[in-house]
Structure 1
Amino acid sequence: MSSKKESFIGTVGFVMVVCLVCAALVSVSAVQLKPLQTANKLLDKQTKILEASGLLELGQEKGIVPTYNQFVTAKMIDVATGDYIDGNADLFEERRDARDAEKSSKPNNDIAGISRRADTQVVYLVTDGSGSVNTVILPIVGSGLWDLMYGFIGLEADMNTVKSVVYSDHKETPGLGAEVMNPKWKALWPGKKMYDDNGDIAIRIVKGGAKSGDMHGVDALSGATLTSVGVEKTIHFWLGEEGYGPYISNIREKGLN
């Protein structure tokens, strides 16, 4: 009996030692890999921003990081006022801050289906060869069919003409909602106008296809009605008063440069 008891205790002890060793290895690996994961995450974001600004091809030729550093400046803003504020744009995480009640707010009209909106955001000013800002990249987030979709809107200096709409992260259905990543669909956006002559948000996703010459219409995603509606509502939210509306108003009043 004593032998069996000692055998049981020995087995339990061995299992505990193995568990402790495995836990230690996992912890050490997580700590060692975190800087690499952070760097890869930042590189992916910079790649998407270059795509949204029309500089991805140059970045692939000369390097993503050097191209980003040469042409892009990231700035923090207070969403409510649209004013620039101090802060480390590289360390900002919208997903983290949106979950923090002290760093986020519940929208009065949550058409994007985000529940909470971070009180600060990062905007990206893209310059041309002479140093003048010609594109502003605005991060966006809103509900699709299955979950939140994250992306960027690129606007020309008039803060109305679309340079690009680029989605970077989503869980939409392959072949349907996931077509937000399709180059053919993304190519429909450049040159469209977000606002009408009265300053109202006019961009819309058109089921069945936008008519030729429609400056505010973009073809809906075939077979993905809810994703298409989500894209439209997301853009309307972020270009409105609870999104980048105050910031856009500031730029129109004071200019970019």
Structure 2
Amino acid sequence: MSSNKESTVRTLLVALTVSLVASVFVAGSAVALKPVQLENRLLDKQRSILAIAGLGDNLSSAQVKEVFGSRIKARVVDLDTGEYQTAFDPLGFDPLKAAKDPKMSAALSSEADKALIKRRERFTTVYMVEQEGRIESLILPIRGYGLWSTLHGFLALKADLNTVVGLGFYQHAETPGLGGEVDNPKWKALWPGKTLFDDAGRPIIKVVKGGVDPASPDAGHQVDALAGATLTSNGVDRLLQFWLGEQGFGPYLARLRQQGV
């Protein structure tokens, strides 16, 4: 074998060895870091729940764990019946994973799919702030498509199950400065106190373009659209109509009203 061929073979062997070592290192790091990543995601979600429920903002990890553990109760709900389901661990159950499982979810028709999520899980986790066994506020997971992405967030309701405590999104990929303004504290501050349903329990909350007229009798259930982000605003409006309706939490909220929470 010529020296040139030997040099080429050696170079290829070295490159292959380096690649294999790097691959093993990267794979090992990914496996080792996965529990940390999952823990951070859980903390971020819990931090969002606490902020939207008005139980604290900018909390440390230790504070999040303490406040969430002492003030928040999680329960799994059957969205079809509105009843609680005890077969799953509320803190371990993953509704988004269930939404991808044909055995745990259902495909939505184009007419029913206002939120543009394609499939809806049968079971999901709700969170509540309780005082002496009664609900002070209820936090519902919501999601739906905006302009570029699916917005994942929470909607917090007062004990009357009609008045907004807060709304916020913890994950999305909307355009910064436009649809990304769903994260703007000034816009989020427009939501508390708004009403969600009419006397018959039908969703009437609306995100309106052009600004809410304070003198209008509808002002109590309207919120200003995001400036320059019509499609994202429409997405927020649609996802609320979906999750507050019969395909979403409608049966669950109706059951709670009957029980007189």
TM-score by length of 2: 0.92
Distance 2:163 2:106 in 1: 29
* Residue from 235, 238, 247 that aligns with 1:230: 235
**Corresponding residue number in structure 1 for 2:28:** 28
Aligned counterpart in structure 2 of residue 187 of structure 1, from 189, 192, 196: 189
CA contact (8 A) 2:47 2:57 kept: no
Partners of 1:50 and 1:25 in 2: CA distance:
37
Deviation at 1:127, TM superposition (A): 2.1
Name structure 1 gaps, 5 residues minimum: none
Structure 2 equivalent of residue 100 of structure 1: 101
The within-5 A match list for 1:146-225 is: 146-212=148-214, 214-225=219-230
Deviation track 1:3-28 (CA, whole Å, cap 9, x = no partner) reads 33333322222222111111110111
| Residue identity opposite 2:49 in structure 1 | I
Stretches of 4+ aligned residues off by more than 6 angstroms: none
Q: TM-score, normalised by structure 1?
A: 0.93
Which deviates further from its counterpart, 69-78 or 95-104? 95-104
CA distance in 1, matches of 2:247, 2:189: 28
Show the 5 A alignment for 1:29-178.
29-57=29-57, 59=59, 63-85=63-85, 86-108=87-109, 109-128=112-131, 130=132, 132-178=134-180
Structure 2 distance, partners of 1:10, 1:45, is 51
Instruction: Render the CA deviation track for 1:158-213: whole Å, top value 9, x for unaligned.
Output: 11111111111111111111111111111111111100122211100111111216
Equivalent residue number for residue 251 of structure 1? 256
Are the counterparts in 1 of residues 115 and 235 from structure 2 also a CA contact under 8 Å?
yes
2:136–2:159 Cα contact (<8 Å) kept: yes
RMSD after superposition:
1.8
Deviates more, 1:177-186 or 1:101-110: 101-110
CA contact (8 A) 2:196 2:221 kept: yes
Which stretch of structure 1 is more off in the superposition, 44-53 or 4-13?
4-13
More displaced stretch, 183-192 vs 83-92: 83-92
What is the CA-CA distance between 1:62 and the residue it aligns to? 7.7
Amino acid aligned to 1:123: V
Structure 1 residue 98 displacement after superposition: 2.0
How far apart in 2 are the matches of 1:8 and 1:94?
A: 53
Paired AA for residue 249 in structure 1: A
CA contact (8 A) 1:147 1:170 kept: yes
Q: Distance in 2 between matches of 1:176 and 1:95?
A: 26
* Matched residue SS, 2:125: strand
Gaps of 5+ in 2: none
- Please list the CA deviations of residues 112-133 of structure 1 after superposition, one character each: whole Å capped at 9, or x if unmatched: 11111122111001124x5532
State the shift of 1:60 in Å: 5.5
Distance in 2, Cα, partners of 1:167 & 1:136: 16
SS of equivalent residue, structure 1 residue 195: coil
